[in-house]
Structure 1
Amino acid sequence: MEKENVPQHDGNLSKKNLKELVYATDENGNYTTALSTGWEPKAIALSNAIDDIKERAEEAKLKVQNGELSPICYFMELNKMDLSILAGYVEMWKWRVKRHFKPSVFAKLNDKTLQKYADAFDISLAELKNFKTD
């Protein structure tokens, strides 16, 4: 793609005054870099991904309200994490983190363990322990 033809679509990146670095060719045919605010297919894909994340967070919130899941699962979804990423942040095995999704297990966790989760989610311990779904 030629440098002057780098896409500048009004999408999610441009609304936040963000640009991404892309490679393009200059007038001599040499590779160089250029800034782009994105292009329509990428904007659509990004928008769909964000909608999917919001939907999963809402589903997790409902399951916390119904007593099916602990707040850990909700905050994981809200922070765009998956089980592997969260396990890495809290330095625990995935199976152990998944076990903490159970409300009965969550209720028995000590403050030291809960603080690891609170730090990973960048919230206070009180916010995690006293999570309200309203």
Structure 2
Amino acid sequence: MKKEEIPQDNGALGKIAKEVTYVVDENGNYSTGQSTGWDVKTEALNVAWHDVEAKIGAAKQKVLNGEASPILYFMEKKIMDLNILASYTGYWKWTIKKHLKPSGFQKLPADKLKKYSELFEISLEELKNPFKQSE
């Protein structure tokens, strides 16, 4: 892309920051240019965020239905998967899978609950009762 072809659409961060884009200058050398956004990219990000919000909503419903522990909800809310959660907590994935079940969550000792609450940046009370304020 040439410098004069850089999209200057109103992006999600267009009023706050500009995005650096690699371009070809008039001599055919790679250079950088700034873009305020690109409609195609903004739409793709909107679709991705919609998917994230849908996963959070589904996780919330599973917790409310007693099908999953609050760990699933906060994992989705923080955009984590099992591998990420395992690497941050130091727990094996199969251990976390047990914690994702309501029966496994109820048996967790205080130190493990504290580890999850610190990772999710919430209080122990919020981890145990995630929807108390919103109901």
TM-score (norm 1): 0.89
Paired position in structure 1 for 2:116: 117
Task: For residue 33 of structure 2, give the secondary structure of its aligned residue in structure 1.
Answer: strand
Paired position in structure 2 for 1:5: 5
Unaligned runs of 5+ in 2: none
1:45-67 deviations in whole A, cap 9, x for unaligned?
11111000001101111111111
- Taking the aligned partners of 1:98 and 1:41, their CA distance within structure 2 comes to 37
- Taking the aligned partners of 1:20 and 1:109, their CA distance within structure 2 comes to 45
Q: Cα distance 1:96–1:19, how it changes in 2: closer, same or farther (>3 A)?
A: farther
Paired position in structure 2 for 1:103: 102
Task: For residue 109 of structure 1, give the secondary structure of its aligned residue in structure 2.
Answer: coil
- Taking the aligned partners of 2:78 and 2:27, their CA distance within structure 1 comes to 44
- How many corresponding residue pairs? 133
Q: Please show how residues 1-134 of structure 1 align to structure 2 within 5 Å.
A: 1-14=1-14, 17-132=16-131, 134=135
- Taking the aligned partners of 1:97 and 1:37, their CA distance within structure 2 comes to 41
Q: Once the 2 structures are TM-superposed, how far is the Cα of residue 117 of structure 1 from its aligned partner?
A: 1.2
Residue type at the aligned position of 2:33: A
Unaligned runs of 5+ in 1: none
1:12-61 deviations in whole A, cap 9, x for unaligned?
2326x233322112232221112223322221111111000001101111
- Taking the aligned partners of 1:71 and 1:97, their CA distance within structure 2 comes to 12
Identity between Structure 1 and Structure 2 (%): 53
- Taking the aligned partners of 1:104 and 1:89, their CA distance within structure 2 comes to 23
- Taking the aligned partners of 1:81 and 1:8, their CA distance within structure 2 comes to 32
TM-score (norm 2): 0.89
Q: Once the 2 structures are TM-superposed, how far is the Cα of residue 4 of structure 1 from its aligned partner?
A: 2.1
CA-atom RMSD in angstroms = 1.6
